[in-house]
């Protein structure tokens, strides 16, 4: 079961905080070295860490700890100002804390830290103006109302920008989640349609075989037509998915991240370099996540297209069988024509994979008696086996077919530059159920041997070893 998007954001942000809070505590220990404020560093820092982690443990199903975290980041700012005796640069830790909170994508988390900053400035500034010397709020001798208002306004503006970014990121995440759910729904519909049409295909093929065996070609033609309509209908699902894939959100996020990187110096001058870096990191993470989803969905669409191609190949063979009004008795067939027709069915795949085909057939090739459709099935299985083997192998992509007569036999040799195989499995290749392909049924080569055997022929496969290609040799009686 997939984790909801808001929970993913929460877990990712919590992991970031698990690094930042200990770093804040260590920062207090470092600052304690300058003015001997060890008690403040250890006491206030420990209480802050305890408040955050206790809230997470005691209220695991609540988001209250996030608001406590917001207040704690404001307390750390006040602690640092006190430890460094009013050093002006310590005020920037309020902005760093505000930037960290953006990762939770909740604009309301900016409210506690803003309140802490406002109360701290008001109380400590007022005490220093009254003459208290050890509040260590500022290194200046005064802190006027005008200065207080300017400080709070600037802080409010920056925190408002952080809240706005958090709000925009949340809206984008919700949009991305909706698009993901819609994509998953379309995939489920498409897979369901594939399953339904697969079942329909199996039923139609059973009816088709029965009709052809009985000579009812008109009925078989209607069934083949229905299958074709089903295949065309399924194409609409793939079209809808492809339209959604064209909305490449990862490119937009990537461009946005690059823009922020280009403007990093300008943004850093306003809100601080840590804050700018945090925003860029979040955008980069979202862009990478979107790219991974696009790759996964593209793989699913490619698999569905392969299923459609397989259905179309079966349909082509059956339609040729019907149109030719083949009967059970064997007829004289030209092996060259069978090879050409099979190549026509596989042309799209061969062309896409840039596989070189070399044919060596004599002009006067002896005819053989056989079932044309079944022999095409043999050629289709053998050639698809070679194509799939080449697809797993780099370098040269080549399939060579050579036919020649030898005494009273017709020999067809099919050599490919695919992965080949070890001698240990050579004897297993034609056994029923044996396969080296993930998800394979182990029936293709078994059926090939059965069909060739029913034609008083033989089929064998040899290879010089893994990575050396393979050769299939088929012989027929002339």
- The Cα 373–Cα 355 span in angstroms is 25
Strand 409-416: give its sheet, edge to edge.
Answer: 356-360, 398-406, 409-416, 470-477, 458-462
**Most confident range, picked from 68-72, 156-160, 277-281:** 68-72
**Which element (helix H / strand E) includes 62?**
none
Q: Any idea where the domains of the chain sit in the sequence? A: 5-143, 329-478
Mapped onto helix, strand or coil, the DSSP state of residue 440 is: coil
- The Cα 390–Cα 404 span in angstroms is 25
- The Cα 59–Cα 405 span in angstroms is 84
- The Cα 326–Cα 177 span in angstroms is 55
CB atoms within 10 A of CB 401: 23
Rg (CA), the chain: 36
Residue with tokens 């929970």: 7
pLDDT exceeds cutoff 90 at 472: yes
Six-digit token string for 307: 């299923």
- At 171-187, the pLDDT tens digits run 888 888 788 888 888 88
Look at residue 438 in the predicted model and tell me its pLDDT: 65
Predicted TM-score (pTM) of the model is: 0.43
- Of the candidates 136, 92, 139, which has an alpha carbon nearest to the alpha carbon of residue 117? 92
- Of the candidates 446, 364, 359, 464, which has an alpha carbon nearest to the alpha carbon of residue 410? 364
Look at residue 124 in the predicted model and tell me its pLDDT: 84
Mapped onto helix, strand or coil, the DSSP state of residue 261 is: helix
Residue 1: pLDDT band with limits 50, 70, 90:
very low
- The Cα 59–Cα 53 span in angstroms is 10
Lowest pLDDT segment from 24-28, 57-61, 161-165, 258-262 = 258-262
- Of the candidates 135, 104, 136, 131, which has an alpha carbon nearest to the alpha carbon of residue 8? 104
What CATH code is assigned to 329-478? 3.30.565.10
Six-digit token string for 221: 């033609």
Residue 409 dihedral angles phi and psi, to the nearest 5°: -125, 150
- The Cα 235–Cα 312 span in angstroms is 12
Q: What single string gives the DSSP state of each residue in 279-327? A: HHHHHHHHHHHHHHHHHHHHHHHHHHHHHHHHHHHHHHHHHHHHHTT--
- At 91-135, the pLDDT tens digits run 889 889 999 999 998 999 999 999 999 898 888 878 877 777 777
Mean pLDDT of the chain: 79
| Bridging pattern class, strands 458-462 and 470-477 | antiparallel
Tell whether the torsion through CA atoms of 333, 339, 341 and 342 is positive or negative: positive
- Of the candidates 425, 426, 431, 462, which has an alpha carbon nearest to the alpha carbon of residue 445? 431
Share of the chain above pLDDT 70, in %: 72
Six-digit token string for 474: 């088929």
- The Cα 137–Cα 120 span in angstroms is 9
Look at residue 327 in the predicted model and tell me its pLDDT: 47
- The Cα 13–Cα 396 span in angstroms is 49
Inter-CA distances, 376 with 6, 138, 308, 472, Å = 55, 90, 19, 15
Cβ pair 140, 193 in contact under 8 A: no
Q: What is the DSSP letter of 140?
A: S
- At 315-339, the pLDDT tens digits run 666 665 555 544 445 688 899 999 9
Lowest pLDDT segment from 24-33, 97-106, 287-296, 461-470 = 287-296
Chain centre to alpha carbon of residue 232 = 27
- At 382-421, the pLDDT tens digits run 999 888 888 766 678 899 999 998 888 999 999 998 888 8
């Amino acid at each position: 079961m997939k984790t909801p998007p808001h929970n993913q954001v929460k877990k990712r942000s919590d992991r970031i905080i698990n690094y930042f809070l200990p770093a804040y505590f260590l920062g207090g220990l470092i600052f304690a070295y300058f003015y001997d404020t060890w008690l403040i560093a250890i006491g206030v820092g420990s209480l802050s860490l305890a408040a955050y982690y206790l809230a997470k443990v005691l209220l695991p199903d609540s988001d209250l700890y996030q608001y406590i975290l917001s207040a704690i980041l404001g307390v750390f700012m006040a602690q640092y100002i006190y430890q460094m005796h009013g050093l002006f640069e310590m005020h920037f830790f309020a902005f760093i804390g505000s930037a960290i909170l953006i990762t939770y994508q909740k604009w309301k988390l900016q409210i506690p830290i803003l309140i802490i900053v406002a109360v701290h400035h008001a109380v400590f500034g007022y005490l220093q103006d009254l003459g208290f010397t050890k509040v260590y709020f500022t290194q200046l001798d005064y802190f006027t109302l005008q200065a207080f208002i300017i400080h709070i306004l600037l802080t409010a503006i920056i925190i408002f920008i952080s809240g706005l970014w958090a709000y925009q990121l949340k809206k984008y995440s919700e949009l991305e989640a909706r698009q993901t759910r819609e994509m998953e729904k379309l995939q489920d519909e498409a897979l369901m349609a594939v399953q339904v049409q697969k079942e329909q295909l199996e039923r139609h093929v059973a009816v088709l075989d029965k009709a052809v065996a009985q000579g009812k070609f008109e009925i078989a033609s209607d069934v083949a037509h229905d299958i074709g309509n089903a295949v065309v209908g399924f194409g609409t699902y793939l079209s809808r998915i492809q339209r959604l894939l064209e909305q490449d959100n990862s490119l937009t996020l990537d461009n946005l991240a690059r823009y922020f990187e280009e403007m990093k110096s300008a943004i850093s001058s306003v809100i601080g370099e840590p804050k700018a870096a945090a925003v860029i990191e979040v955008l980069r993470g979202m862009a990478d996540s979107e790219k991974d989803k696009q790759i996964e969905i593209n793989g699913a669409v490619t698999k569905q297209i392969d299923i459609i191609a397989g259905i179309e190949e079966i349909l082509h063979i059956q339609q040729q069988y019907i149109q030719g009004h083949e009967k059970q008795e064997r007829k004289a067939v030209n092996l060259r024509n069978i090879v050409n027709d099979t190549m026509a069915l596989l042309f799209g795949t061969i062309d896409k994979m840039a596989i070189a085909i070399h044919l060596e057939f004599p002009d006067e090739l002896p005819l053989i008696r056989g079932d044309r459709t079944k022999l095409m099935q043999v050629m289709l299985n053998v050639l698809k086996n070679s194509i799939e083997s080449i697809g797993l192998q780099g370098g040269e992509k080549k399939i060579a077919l050579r036919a020649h007569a030898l005494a009273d036999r017709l020999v067809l040799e099919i050599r490919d530059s695919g992965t080949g195989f070890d001698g240990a499995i050579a004897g297993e290749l034609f056994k029923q159920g044996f396969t080296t392909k993930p998800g394979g049924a182990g029936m293709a080569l078994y059926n090939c041997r059965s069909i060739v055997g029913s034609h008083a022929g033989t089929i064998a496969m040899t290879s010089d070893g893994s990575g050396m290609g393979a050769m299939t040799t088929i012989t027929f009686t002339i």
